[in-house]
Amino acid sequence: MKILIARLNHETNTFSPVPTRLEDFGLNGPDYDADAYAANKGARTAMGAYIDLAEAFGAQIVTPLSATANPSGPVDGDAYRIMTHHIVDAAAGCDAVMLDLHGAMVAESTDDGEGDLLERLRMVCPDAPVAVALDLHGNVTQKMIDNADVIAGFKTYPHVDMYEAGHLAGSVLITKLKGEASPALAWRQLPLMTHTLMSATQSPAMHAAVEKARALEQRGEILAGTVMAGFALADIPAPCLSVIIVGKDKASAQAHADALADDIWAQREGYVYHSPPLSESIARARHAHDVPGLAHPDCGAANGPVLLLDHSDNCMSGGTCDTMDVLQEALAQGLSNIAVGPVCDPETVAALFEAGEGARVTVDLGNKRPLESLGIVKAPLRVEGTVRRLGSGEYVISGPTYTGMKCGMGRTALFEFDGVQVVVTEKTQEPWDLGVFTCVGVDPSTKDYLLLKSRMYCRPVFFPIAKGYVECDSAGVTSSNYDLFPFRKIRRPVYPLDEVSR
């Protein structure tokens, strides 16, 4: 038996000015064929799980592509064509297909990147069953449902179960190949645009929904169940929450999908995040710092820093990683002993490298990418300071997400001014690890405040060294304030943009 296994991941923020080119899919572009296999064999990815399952099944494996890029703007049309053609061209003659996708890919040529790919694969090999693993933030479409046999998604956010989602989807497909089951796919989409902060699986509403899906699986009532929170920062018809059930027959699968969706709808307010004004958030951070010896219940160090989580400029949702709003407000309110990182500003990096370590320079920091889709243009922050350290910006993630993965921020400089140390980089980067600071000689645990361009993935690593955290919503392309976004394609009414009665 011949099984095609491929990975193509991108979460598209259609409002982001950050380009998504072919070379952005990996450290040096996509991995093809044997390199795609090597990149995932033994890895904790859905594609890694597929490889393990297919090899245990004794199948011949075809691995045409492994490509993943950080969230950013719509995928370049040629890049999308090249990558999807490489998958489709390898499909002829395959007996089954296992795909590691995201579910929220928008390209310049299509609003439904995954649905179009699946439709083309179905045309090439109409009799080959297809299994798909999706990110929890996928925007599911009818075309995706119509052209897949099995779909299973992540059940954690922050995501730590990529391998498990692939293993579940692939295992159900193999039962079909063996003739041991006839899985039936059902889904229900709600007119509900969730806020990403409320899709965390420790958030009460999302936690309850995911646990109901787990319970259905554990009781054997279904083969797989997924709550897809969706990714709302995409101007497409339905960037909304979905429930996907893989059942033993169509009728029962749909009944379970409808029942779980109805439960979610009854708790819809639990998926909405209400942002306080930025000035209020910074004031709360200062208060948290000033209370001696008291740590937030989620944090682990009574004398550690307070985290300022700038979730409006989070590169893992398409942020530019260069907005200065939170830092400016912190300085205005007198906060000091702050470490910031990373700020993506290649122009400033070039100036700091040219000046050299120890040099005293004046730079225009951040706010370089105009947020044209939001009608916002910000002026850089002009500051005078000292170049403290220059480096390669490389570090290795200690875990728990992507443990052992080598990361590179491009050339990286540590710039210090007015009680602030800023890690300035050539590339956008999620603060996956303390390494974003330690690679340039900063011990983040010694700071009073850490300003992180992050929404969620920093938490497993930074919360243990912090005494508290505050979520900061500034005017960026990953803001939780949907009023900033000029949605044009979305089907209305949709909650919470509109009042919706059902």
For 188, how many CA atoms within 13 A lie in the half-sphere containing its CB?
A: 18
For position 1, what pLDDT does the model report?
94
Give 292's pLDDT tier (boundaries 50, 70, 90): confident
- The tokens of 286 are what? 């200062």
Residues 222-241 pLDDT 10s: 999 999 999 999 999 999 99
What six digits make up the tokens of 74?
């719509």
- Cβ atoms 68, 26 nearer than 8 A: yes
H or E element at residue 290: helix 278-290
355-405 pLDDT, tens digit each: 999 999 999 999 999 999 999 989 999 999 999 999 999 999 887 877 787
Does pLDDT of 295 surpass 90? no
**Cross-strand partners of 407:** 395
Sheet of 224-228, strands arranged across: 184-189, 242-247, 224-228
Strand 60-62 to strand 2-9: parallel, antiparallel, or no bridges (unpaired)? parallel
Residue 404's pLDDT is: 80
> Bridge partners of 201?
none
Query: How many Cβ atoms sit within 10 Å of the Cβ of residue 267?
Result: 13
Cα of 207 vs its chain's centroid, Å: 18
CATH topology of domain 2-271: Rossmann fold (3.40.50)
Residue 225, strand partner residues:
245
pLDDT of residue 27: 79
On the question of pLDDT at 28 being above 90, the answer is no
Instruction: Tell me the β-bridge partners of 435.
Output: none
What tokens appear for 295 in the block?
């740590």
What does R_g of the chain's alpha carbons equal in angstroms? 23
Q: Give the pLDDT confidence score for residue 190 in this predicted structure.
A: 98
SS3 266: helix
> How far, in Å, CA of 147 to CA of 141, rounded?
10
Handedness of CA 404, 405, 411, 413 (dihedral sign): negative
For the chain, helix, strand, coil in percent to 5 are: 35, 25, 45
Spatial CB neighbours of 313, under 8 Å, sequence gap ≥ 6:
319, 320, 321, 322, 323, 326, 453, 474, 476, 477, 478
Collect all residues with Cβ–Cβ distance below 8 Å to 110 and sequence separation of at least 6: 80, 116
pLDDT at residue 405, rounded to an integer: 79
Distance of alpha carbon 131 from alpha carbon 97, whole angstroms: 6
The answer for 441, left when phi > 0, alpha when psi is -120 to 50, beta otherwise, is: left
- Residue 351: predicted pLDDT: 98
pLDDT at 203: 95
Residue 502 — pLDDT band, cuts 50, 70, 90?
A: low
Residues 6+ apart with CB under 8 A from 233: 13, 14, 15, 16, 196, 239, 317, 318, 477, 478, 485
Write 116-119 long-range contacts (CB < 8 A, 24+): 116/84, 116/143, 117/8, 117/84, 117/87, 117/88, 118/143, 118/144, 118/147, 118/148, 119/143, 119/146, 119/147
494, 191 contact by CB (below 8 A): yes
- The segment(s) of the chain belonging to CATH 3.40.50.10350 are 2-271
Check: CB of residue 437 under 8 Å from CB of residue 339: yes
Tell me the pLDDT band of 499, cut-offs 50, 70 and 90.
very high
| pLDDT over 80 at 294, yes or no | no
Q: Is the pLDDT of residue 485 over 90?
A: yes
